[in-house]
Amino acid sequence: MGKYFGTDGFRGEANIDLTVEHAYKVGRFLGWYFGKDHKASIVIGKDTRRSSYMFEYALASGLTASGADACLLHVTTTPSVSYVVRTENFDCGIMISASHNPYYDNGIKVINGQGQKLESEIEEQIENYIDQEEPKVPFAIGKDIGRTIDFSAGRNRYIGHLISIPTRSFKNIRVGLDCSNGSSFSIAKSVFDAVGAKTYVISNNPDGTNINKDCGSTHIEALQQFVRDNQLDVGFAYDGDADRCIAVDEKGEVVDGDMIMFICGKYLKEQGRLDQNTIVTTIMSNLGLYKACDREGIRYEKTAVGDRHVCENMMANGYSLGGEQSGHIIFSKHASTGDGILTSLMVMEVILEKKTSLHTLAKEITIYPQCLKNVKVADKKAAKENSAVKKAIAEVKQSLGGEGRILVRESGTEPVIRVMVEAAEDALCETCVDQVIEVMRQENLIISD
């Protein structure tokens, strides 16, 4: 993780940690870097945060000042930017979003020409450029100055791509969608309506400050209640930029990313479409997923947390399915990044082809209780490497044996340590997590907000 760029781009509170000057410089560098031997063309998308408009113009100013053309998708999803970049031959793409974070945060995600996260070495060069007192990137002059171009047609082609994926009509299926007051509000319902579903939508009225607020994939209880109240067959919740999807079955019970990977993985294996019979997970995936995969004879690999690492593993080894518990799911046949709307379509394929309910499909995997707490610290590395903390972690690990696990890791986007325990009972999980956090407190590693 660099000075500015973490596991999911350059993220922080708008105009405090991430400023318009930062955005302008990112645009200046990218326009110059990709335009060394031709006129660069770079596509920009944004979510519904109030600050996204500000950053869009700052980035476009930097790009055009360096001679690149900036093509604007306007409000759209992260996976749509990825799709457009790789299918329309753009040099790279930029998504302005802080994903599931509150509205006052924002982020800049740069996507390479293959529709994947930008290479770390280029991110490092951007950081070096940002910190230069006298940046050495020339301004374009005369006819070499770039243009801004409306490119809403690219978003429409992405919608067409999604509509083309289902092989069966969703006719008479009652589907609930929680758009998180985010960028899926203008896309998801159109897709489900087009393939015949009876679509019911909540949290699809963004006002610039309500993105992810008590809704979406990180506040799934809103969709659970909506599905129950309206007796829907299934529900899907997205995050602010719609690269995540969490499902809700007809009983209003949550089906998270691990469960979705198992349901889709087993189905693809039965269809002979699970390449190398392998699912790519992260170290945060639930123990229950691995036990279910073992039972079904499905192999799995574990990467560091972050869909970047999942994607890199998948592309390097030719795997077709991977993802995270949080709902970042990658189906490499159709996309090169996590795509929440695509994920919901793939879950619908399993439901329709197997002629059963999501609740029945989900019963085949037993998820272990899990407790995850975030601890704000001054120095993430020092907190994790503290000898007393390491001793506490070892004691918890020994007490759990083979029927549970503990994972302590640094956040890639926030100044926090994440302490997670899985065990047979909720109370045991929390006790073990608190045991480690208490040691951190005694060692004066924790800071208050």
Domain spans of the chain, in order of start: 5-156, 165-362, 370-442
Measure Cα distances from 329 to 79, 105, 246, 361 in Å. 11, 24, 10, 18
Please state the residue numbers annotated as binding site for Mg(2+).
99, 239, 241, 243
Q: Is it the case that residue 1 has pLDDT exceeding 80?
A: no
Check if the beta carbon of residue 189 is closer than 8 Å to that of residue 204: yes
Helices (H), 271-339: 287-296, 307-317
Q: Is it the case that residue 74 has pLDDT exceeding 70?
A: yes
Q: Distance between terminal CA atoms of the chain? A: 23
H or E element, residue 58: helix 50-65
* Tokens 């004691």 belong to residue: 395
Give the dihedral of Cα atoms 405, 411, 416, 421; nearest 10 deg.
-10
Q: Is it the case that residue 242 has pLDDT exceeding 80?
A: yes
Check if the beta carbon of residue 354 is closer than 8 Å to that of residue 346: no
Same fold, 5-156 and 165-362: yes
By percentage, how much of the chain surpasses pLDDT 90?
89
Per-residue model confidence (pLDDT) at position 24: 97
Strand order across the beta sheet in which 245-248 lies? 198-202, 174-178, 234-238, 245-248, 254-255
- pTM equals 0.90
* Residues 193-235: tens digit of each pLDDT: 999 999 999 999 999 999 999 999 999 999 999 999 999 999 9
Q: Is it the case that residue 135 has pLDDT exceeding 80?
A: no
CA distance 196 to 359: 22
Q: Is it the case that residue 416 has pLDDT exceeding 80?
A: yes
Measure Cα distances from 277 to 269, 282, 346 in Å. 6, 17, 18
Give the dihedral of Cα atoms 61, 243, 107, 205; nearest 10 deg.
80
DSSP code string of 333-378: TT-SS--HHHHHHHHHHHHHHHTS-HHHHHTT--PPPEEEEEEEBS
CA distance 416 to 432: 18
What b-and-e string marks burial along 411-443, b requiring 16 or more CB atoms within 10 Å of the CB?
bbbbebbbbbbbbeeeebbeebbebbbebbeee
What b-and-e string marks burial along 234-248, b requiring 16 or more CB atoms within 10 Å of the CB?
bbbbbbbbbbbbbbb
Reported CATH class of domain 5-156: alpha beta
**Six-digit token string for 142:** 């005369």
Fold entry, domain 165-362? Alpha-D-Glucose-1,6-Bisphosphate; Chain A, domain 3 (3.40.120)
Per-residue model confidence (pLDDT) at position 449: 53
By percentage, how much of the chain surpasses pLDDT 70?
99
Q: Is it the case that residue 306 has pLDDT exceeding 60?
A: yes
- As a whole number, mean pLDDT of residues 109-127 equals 94
**3 state SS of 55:** helix
CA distance 9 to 335: 19
Q: Is it the case that residue 305 has pLDDT exceeding 90?
A: no
Check if the beta carbon of residue 393 is closer than 8 Å to that of residue 385: no
Per-residue model confidence (pLDDT) at position 16: 97
Please state the residue numbers annotated as binding site.
99, 239, 241, 243
Q: Are strands 9-13 and 370-376 parallel, antiparallel or unpaired?
A: unpaired
Per-residue model confidence (pLDDT) at position 424: 86
Residues 6+ apart with CB under 8 A from 47: 75, 95, 96, 97, 98, 182, 183, 211, 240, 241
Measure Cα distances from 126 to 4, 26, 72, 121, 201 in Å. 9, 6, 21, 9, 40
Check if the beta carbon of residue 128 is closer than 8 Å to that of residue 114: no
CA distance 344 to 189: 12
CA distance 239 to 256: 13
Mean predicted lDDT score pLDDT of the chain:
95
Q: Please say whether the dihedral angle defined by the alpha carbons of residues 336, 280, 428 and 443, taken in this order, is positive or negative.
A: negative
- Output the CATH code of domain 370-442: 3.30.310.50
Q: Is it the case that residue 59 has pLDDT exceeding 60?
A: yes
* Tokens 């299918």 belong to residue: 87
**3 state SS of 251:** coil
**3 state SS of 381:** helix
Q: Is it the case that residue 288 has pLDDT exceeding 70?
A: yes
CA distance 96 to 282: 25
Give the dihedral of Cα atoms 250, 251, 253, 256; nearest 10 deg.
-20
Cite the active site residues. 99
- As a whole number, mean pLDDT of residues 128-132 equals 92
